[in-house]
Structure 1
Amino acid sequence: MTDEPDDPPRVVVWVRELSVPPGDPREAVLSRLGELESRGLVADVSLRVWGATVDAAVVDGGEFEQPVRSCVAEFHRWAERTGHSLEPAFRREQRSSMLSTERSAVVRLPRVCVAVYTDGGLRGVFPCSPAEEAGTETVWDCLDRLGAGAAAGKPLE
């Protein structure tokens, strides 16, 4: 099924931990998305969990890591296509191991990330940095846009 031009967007929220302590900003993000969903400004909210980092290598990362790496790759393709950067929220680092002297490349993942889908495709990833502007567009910037009725045909980028 494809979205109609005026269909509200679908949102996937990625968090590092499923259970967040009371007062944690992630709790407020989920609450706000619930409000937007109940007002019909968001069609669906899905919650997914990822770790602090994901292996940046192309080799298979196992059952848990492969979907996360695929998602991060999709986010990077969106950023390239729209002229955004995922830095500094998604930053590449070198990780050492106690078992080996080799270092491996990883991508450090943000504590919370919101991906917005409309028209059957990814329309926005937050946090992100616009290429031609200084600063970072935050998850809260995204929620404000969704609250103002940003949907298909109204760019989130």
Structure 2
Amino acid sequence: MKNNYFNFKQWKDKMLLTNEQGRYILLGKRDFLNLVNKRYDLLSKEILQTLKDRFFIYDIDEDVFIEKVANAYRDNKQYLFSATSLHIFVMTNACNMCCVYCQAQDSAQEKKGKMQEMTAKAAVDIALQSPNEYLTFEFQGGEPLLNF
């Protein structure tokens, strides 16, 4: 067996592994070390099979590994061949709330930006030029309705 390329990061008491095929797995530290050190015989059959199914490891005698992962890789990157469908509009950074997690300015602050009507119309015109069949318009800000 052989390891496929993967990224990893500690997450709580486990190791999170991700690969270019868009797959992930959480492993205990002992299993992670066994994988990295290629001690496959110390991994359980279940973990070993999951690692194979998610393209983290493969059999050395598999000459066609790239053909196996090609579909997963292609599906994961399919968005690169489609037009933009999500269009985000920041209508204003003014807000009538004061949420601690938000980047917007609350109503007590003086300087507030507002999207001009001409800019809004141009932005919508550009978004409607997308050849994508389905479009999503997302309004962000502060509170977008303060600049209705």
TM-score between both structures, scaled by the size of structure 2: 0.22
Relative to its length, the structure with more helix (as a share) is 2
Structure index of larger Rg: 2
Relative to its length, the structure with more strand (as a share) is 1
TM-score between both structures, scaled by the size of structure 1: 0.21
Q: Which has the higher contact order (CA 8 A, sep 6+)?
A: 1
